[in-house]
């Protein structure tokens, strides 16, 4: 090879954790013989660098350019590209289409690479056969010591065992072009990675797990975060339409609680309707069914957690809200599915040339500025 092996794309919404990611890329690497564990001592004495580090500013609305202080080793290679605020799938598409190296590595802006991550990435990619299109990193979610994790912390910790999580994933750029990249009909950081991987595997390629490692800290979240996450039920509707009823097995996902959520929601609605009609006995029966479903969900979420007063109150409240929220978003997904299936996977066609020098205008009308 005469050029760089990989470019690095990081979609960002301006989280403070981006600074820690950039510092970790070069701050802990570069000592030969430092050890043979994942992410350490697997390369030469100087850390290999990406040909380009593309930071895609995915903040919504206008505002000033994203302020980024790239480490000295990456300063000349780092570019900030303004995205459309359309979600991580669109941001990653913009990034990889502006890349020029054979491989494109993706990191989320709340990931902290372990020391030696760059060397380990090169080691993971070196020698992969032409039918290996992807290399997945190993995520580690630090959890608090001395107590059980909360419901939210367990949710994030599931990333450590997730199949094809794009929080740390590298793909051949040619394969991304072949399958059309990420599907921008997935607007959230949810299912867009599984959808792409299923299409890559369906095209006859393999995705292997590498040895590089990175931490994915649990960022703070409000008490209703589990309710907001139910919006992903709409994306599950699209996944089934695109990949068939067996998509969960292919993506390594569990069946979830869709049926139970629907039953609990219907019981609650039936109880309210019966009460409005003066059917008190029917209202009592339906209300008891709703309460039983809500209590079962709350119990299942409380049992593995810390069981402190704050968590108990949060679980009780959100367990009453999750079934109707999940059902609503699933119906929303079904309602918009015909329109989604008529729309293209992504608004771009073809692959633009790699980005030019700092300050140059880049593909898809994006604005690029040096970091």
How far apart CA 256 and CA 237 sit, in angstroms, is 13
**185 close to 111: Cβ distance less than 8 angstroms:** no
Q: What is the pLDDT of residues 279-300, one digit of tens each?
A: 999 999 999 999 999 999 999 9
Q: What is the pLDDT of residues 221-273, one digit of tens each?
A: 999 999 999 999 999 999 999 999 999 998 988 888 999 999 999 999 999 99
Q: Give the SS3 label for residue 140.
A: strand
Query: pTM for this structure?
Result: 0.86
How confident is the prediction along the chain (371 residues), in pLDDT tens digits per residue? 568 999 999 999 988 899 999 999 987 443 333 333 343 433 334 678 999 999 999 998 777 888 888 888 898 899 999 998 899 999 999 999 999 999 999 999 999 999 999 999 999 999 899 999 999 999 999 999 999 999 999 999 999 999 999 999 999 999 999 999 999 999 999 999 999 999 999 999 999 999 999 999 999 999 999 999 999 999 999 999 999 999 999 898 888 899 999 999 999 999 999 999 999 999 999 999 999 999 999 999 999 999 999 999 999 999 999 999 999 999 999 999 999 999 877 554 444 444 443 333 333 334 444 45
Q: What is the pLDDT of residue 63?
A: 74
Q: How far is CA 267 from CA 92, 272, 281, in A?
A: 42, 9, 13
The sign of the dihedral angle between the CA atoms of 205, 125, 165, 11 is negative
Tell me which fold the domain 6-222+345-370 belongs to: Spore Coat Polysaccharide Biosynthesis Protein SpsA; Chain A (3.90.550)
How far apart CA 247 and CA 236 sit, in angstroms, is 9
Q: Where are the domains of the chain?
A: 6-222+345-370, 258-342
> CA nearest 93: which of 158, 9, 30, 205?
9
Helices (H) and strands (E) in the chain, counts: 13, 9
Q: What is the pLDDT of residue 1?
A: 56
């Amino acid at each position: 090879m005469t050029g760089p092996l990989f470019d690095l794309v990081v979609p960002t919404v301006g989280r403070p954790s981006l600074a820690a990611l950039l510092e970790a890329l070069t701050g802990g690497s570069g000592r030969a013989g430092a050890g043979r564990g994942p992410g350490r001592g697997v390369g030469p004495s100087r850390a290999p660098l990406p040909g380009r580090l593309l930071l895609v500013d995915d903040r919504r609305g206008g505002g000033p350019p994203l302020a980024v202080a790239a480490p000295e080793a990456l300063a000349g290679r780092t570019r900030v590209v303004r995205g459309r605020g359309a979600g991580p799938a669109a941001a990653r598409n913009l990034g990889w289409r502006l890349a020029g190296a054979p491989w494109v590595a993706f990191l989320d802006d709340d990931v902290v690479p372990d020391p030696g991550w760059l060397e380990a990435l090169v080691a993971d990619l070196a020698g992969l056969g032409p039918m290996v299109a992807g290399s997945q990193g190993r995520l580690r979610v630090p959890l608090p010591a001395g107590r059980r994790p909360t419901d939210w912390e367990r949710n994030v910790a599931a990333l450590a065992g997730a199949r094809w999580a794009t929080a740390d994933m590298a793909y051949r750029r040619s394969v991304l072009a072949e399958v059309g990249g990420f599907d921008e009909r997935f607007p959230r950081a949810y299912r867009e990675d599984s959808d792409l991987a299923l299409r890559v595997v369906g095209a006859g390629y393999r995705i292997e797990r590498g040895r590089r490692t990175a931490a994915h800290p649990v960022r703070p979240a409000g008490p209703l975060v589990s309710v907001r996450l139910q919006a992903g039920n709409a994306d599950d509707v699209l996944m089934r339409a695109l990949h068939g009823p067996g998509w969960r097995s292919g993506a390594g996902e569990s069946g979830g609680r869709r049926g139970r959520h629907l039953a609990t929601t219907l019981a609650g609605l039936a109880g309210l309707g019966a009460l409005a009609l003066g059917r008190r006995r029917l209202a009592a029966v339906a209300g008891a069914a709703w309460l039983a479903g809500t209590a079962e969900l709350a119990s299942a979420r409380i049992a593995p957690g810390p069981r402190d007063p704050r968590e108990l109150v949060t679980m009780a409240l959100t367990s009453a809200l999750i079934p109707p929220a999940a059902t609503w978003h699933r119906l929303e997904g079904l309602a918009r599915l015909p329109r989604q299936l008529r729309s293209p996977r992504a608004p771009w066609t073809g692959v633009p040339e790699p980005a030019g020098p700092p300050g140059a205008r880049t593909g898809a009308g994006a604005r690029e500025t040096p970091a």
